[in-house]
Structure 1
């Protein structure tokens, strides 16, 4: 019997609930970014363990229904709850003491994936393309282009996904400012159903996230095993 390639992903995640006043403050996406990083303070020089690198801290935000601005564009509602992922254990108690969080629960997560497993995926993504002439990134405007963007990323991380198994929600603008400079991130809530081809590549993506704007709540992959192929002779057919 042939042994199928297997990889295990382990991490810590925290479920945060923001106070009503903090929801208003964190409607500025940069303020929300600093709130998340506040759970990983820089240790004293005598402490051996360094904080996790910022690129290894990922998060996804639960918000209410989008609002509409004067140009009839969808604007993200204030954040209500945040799911934070990092390899190190955070300390949220100071934020609770300061009245910024009403609740913070940290728990371990483990995914053991094998080749040919079928998984469901959810990700808040920032689908973009880079201009060849200017080198700048531009948001993809159509669901078709966003779907193909996610398909390319899933292929790169060792997943086999049919285009018809990707569902793309509407474009929503997340706004804020940093040191007086306006910030806008255009994101979509996206889901997919995929077959695992390379478990190691998938674990790397679960650790690092996909796409740009990770500092502003994009790129965290949330997966669920929907079908486990116990036979080793033939692949699962979607």
Structure 2
């Protein structure tokens, strides 16, 4: 497995196109690999996420993949060709260090959804029963992640209303894909976690969390915890 990051130049037309459409970004990521490369196998799958760092005015595309990628086309069309900032590292050293009880700072962009069991609207609509709907509030989205953390081999540090996780960049995205339109509710989670099952956690890092993985959701990344690396509670 490999992890890569590519700096994007938001002033360039192609970068604006990629940032405006997860479907276009998905295509750009796919073209970093030859047709023979595995997209999803027992080792892992292709996952990607865009991080917009407002403080430093930087935009990074992160990609985890079974094969080593070639992002020359992204750098040439949407980055800084004369000053390319693109790096790919072997992911195995980090994966091999994962162990029970470790604490990590984490970031995840996800598509928090639920399957409707009961219509809670003002007027009952049986047609919505069984449909997949996006979680609406920051509290609901945080609960979505907290409730599923165990199956992915971790727990969010803290407890109750004092979980060490912020919910940021909450948005509803709508974009063209094929002959139709895709609508996604997405949110970014930044916080601290504890590994409760090393094997499940490694699988979460290499196979992702939740739905819409082809559209920039599901990539979980971790880093050593520093003071102030994660705030408590939820925020917009």
- Normalising by the residue count of structure 2, what TM-score does the alignment of the two structures yield? 0.74
Is it true that 1:24 corresponds to 2:16 in the alignment?
yes
- Normalising by the residue count of structure 1, what TM-score does the alignment of the two structures yield? 0.74
Equivalent residues of 1:58, 1:219 under 8 A apart: yes
TM superposition shift of 1:123:
0.4
Aligned-pair RMSD on alpha carbons? 2.4
Distance in 1 (CA, whole Å) between partners of 2:169 and 2:59 is 20
3-state DSSP of counterpart to 1:191: strand
1:193 match: 192
Larger of the two Rg values belongs to structure: 1
Distance in 1 (CA, whole Å) between partners of 2:106 and 2:32 is 26
Equivalent residues of 1:169, 1:188 under 8 A apart: yes
1:119 match: 104
**Structure 1: runs of 5+ lacking an equivalent:** 1-10, 44-49, 66-78, 228-238
3-state DSSP of counterpart to 1:187: strand
Is it true that 1:130 corresponds to 2:81 in the alignment?
no
Distance in 2 (CA, whole Å) between partners of 1:199 and 1:137 is 30
User: Relative to structure 2, which stretch is displaced further, 169-178 or 197-206?
Assistant: 169-178
Is it true that 1:41 corresponds to 2:34 in the alignment?
yes
Distance in 2 (CA, whole Å) between partners of 1:152 and 1:116 is 19
Equivalent residues of 1:29, 1:177 under 8 A apart: no
The structure that is helix-richer by fraction is 2
2:205 match: 206
Distance in 1 (CA, whole Å) between partners of 2:208 and 2:145 is 12
1:152 match: 147
3-state DSSP of counterpart to 1:52: coil
TM superposition shift of 1:207:
0.9
1:4 match: none
**What are the superposed Cα offsets for residues 174-221 of structure 1, whole Å, 9 maximum, x if unpaired?**
332012412222211112322222111100111111011111111111
Provide the aligned length of Structure 1 versus Structure 2: 197
After superposition, where does 1:174-189 map in structure 2 within 5 Å?
174-189=173-188
Equivalent residues of 2:150, 2:196 under 8 A apart: no
The structure that is strand-richer by fraction is 1
3-state DSSP of counterpart to 2:98: strand
2:68 match: 89
Is it true that 1:60 corresponds to 2:49 in the alignment?
yes
Moved segments of 4+, more than 4 Å: 94-97
Distance in 2 (CA, whole Å) between partners of 1:94 and 1:87 is 19
